[in-house]
Amino acid sequence: MKNLCVVGLQWGDEGKGKIVDALAEGFDIVARYQGGSNAGHTVVIDGKKFVLHLVPSGILRESLLCIIGNGVVVDPPLLLKEIEELRAKGVKVGKNLLLSDRAHVVFPYHKQQDILQENDSARAKIGTTGRGIGPCYTDKSARCGIRICDMLDRATFKEKLQANVKFKNRLFAALYKNTTALSFEDMYREYAELAEQLRPYVADTVQLLNEAEAAGKKILFEGAQGALLDVDFGTYPYISSSNAGTGGAACGTGMPPKSIGRIIGIMKAYCTRVGEGPFPSELTDALGERLRQQGGEFGATTGRPRRCGWFDAVAVRHTAALCGVDSITMTKLDVLSGLESVKAAVAYRIDGKEVRNFPANTGALQGCEIVYESFPGWTEDISKARKFDELPQNARRFVIALEKLIKIPIECISVGNSREATIRR
Ligand code: GDP
Ligand code: IMO
Ligand code: MG
């Protein structure tokens, strides 16, 4: 199969950006299929750091066509700002970037709703990025969303936006005190102008992708977030509101599932999570702090400190299976250097019973005991290793042990943030 999908297997921030950039070289098109500006994908090239939020990580390779698929929710001012920032850093952004006419648009009322809901004591606090992602996907399903194609048609846009602003103002006033009503006129003026700035990028990317595939072009599907944040399979309700797993690649691009091709799952050698929700193997002690400092575990989008913990094989077995992963890339193994021993969660103990499958019940996860397997650590700096046998024996043993626990080959290991710091087995 010539196409490839890159998917995160944990709670996001696994290093998808680095790996998509590294793999993109052999492809014609990189298509982002879900999420929005909640994502932060970091790529480091020759010491220069790029953080992509809405633009696919393939943009850093000039010859590629990058597509923001219909499954992505697009925040117009943020997308235009991201394009400008990339250009200021010398990255070519023009005809090599296309935006689906079917993608839904994030409006200021989505962000307002996100924040109001987060602060509402009657609802579970999710710890969202505050980027309006959940409310935008909610409106998409509720059939009152506004798509890029709607925004480009003045009359349709005016009618839909007016109805939405009126409805949201009524809703917020009824439910929450002290909310300032949003002005339809101001928003329409601003977003009608933004629509014109976006127009050159807009295309029927569904047709384009299907034609490209028929013409033999190679497509790389880029996922955002991670499968544990997937709306169907993640730690519900502490999830993001899209299908971050490979299931999202088909409906988020308009390519049939059989075109997805090979699937590479990305996982860190440990776990992190941003925001609220269960994290069975979390380390809330000095060791967790050490991982955070050593791994630079601070959000690429919000700057929040990421919660850190041991690798969780129960969780990754679940996500790797539901994503149909063929091969795994393990990142940030270098961050574990210097620890006396390293651990992996191999089972949970819930109500006295040992559980090896990831439970649907978030409450059960919250209070569960962990069965760990311990492995001897290594002290060497491994960031210069480029071959598997250049790794210390204990690091190799850890990789092989995780491979056995997940039952999927770990074919690539990342030992640093640069393009070169990668070991292929
Ligand atoms: P993404 O959202 O999955 O693309 O991941 P992020 O970019 O949010 O977070 C991953 C962070 O780890 C970024 O700062 C990367 O530059 C960095 N990174 C990626 N791979 C490695 C690695 O193997 N070792 C180290 N030390 N850093 C890495
Ligand atoms: P990348 O693509 C890590 C988390 C938020 C919050 C939850 C819901 O960089 O891996 P949302 O704003 O999406 O409604 O927040 O999901 N979250 C992420 N965590 N990496 C991400 O993206 C994330 N995108 C959302 O912290 O817990
Ligand atoms: Mg990230």
Residue that is last in its domain, among 247, 264, 281: 264
Active site annotation includes 104: no
pLDDT tens-place string over residues 76-112: 999 999 999 999 999 999 999 999 999 999 999 999 9
Active site annotation includes 334: no
Answer yes or no: do 94 and 224 share one domain: yes
Q: Name the DSSP letter for residue 179.
A: P
pLDDT tens-place string over residues 26-57: 999 999 999 999 999 999 999 999 999 999 99
Residue that is last in its domain, among 242, 264, 286: 264
- Please give the mean pLDDT across all residues of the chain: 97
φ, ψ for residue 166, nearest 5 deg: -60, -45
In the set 28, 41, 101, 114, the catalytic residue is 41
Domains of the chain: total = 3
Three-class DSSP category at 368: coil
Where residue 70 sits, what CATH number does that domain have?
A: 3.40.440.10
Q: Cβ–Cβ contacts within 10 Å for residue 152, how many?
A: 16
Answer yes or no: do 188 and 232 share one domain: no
Burial of 170 (0-12, 13-18, 19+ CB in 10 A): exposed
Pocket test of ligand 1: the residue of 48, 220, 331 to mutate, having most ligand atoms within 8 Å of its CB, is: 331
Answer yes or no: do 189 and 133 share one domain: yes
- Tokens 């700002």 sit on residue: 81
Answer yes or no: do 289 and 400 share one domain: yes
Tell me which residue of 259, 254, 148, 258 sits closest to 206, measured CA to CA: 254
Answer yes or no: do 173 and 162 share one domain: yes
Parallel/antiparallel/unpaired status of strands 311-312 and 341-350 = parallel
Residue that is last in its domain, among 198, 215, 242: 198
Q: Ligand 2 site: residues with CB under 6 angstroms?
A: 8, 11-13, 35, 38-41, 126-129, 131, 133-134, 224-226, 229, 240-241, 274-275, 300
Answer yes or no: do 123 and 91 share one domain: no
Answer yes or no: do 398 and 287 share one domain: yes
Alpha-carbon dihedral sign for residues 270, 304, 421, 377:
negative
Answer yes or no: do 275 and 383 share one domain: yes
pLDDT tens-place string over residues 121-179: 999 999 999 999 999 999 999 999 999 999 999 999 999 999 999 999 999 999 998 77
Which residue segment(s) compose the domain that 42 sits in? 4-100+203-264
Answer yes or no: do 208 and 294 share one domain: no
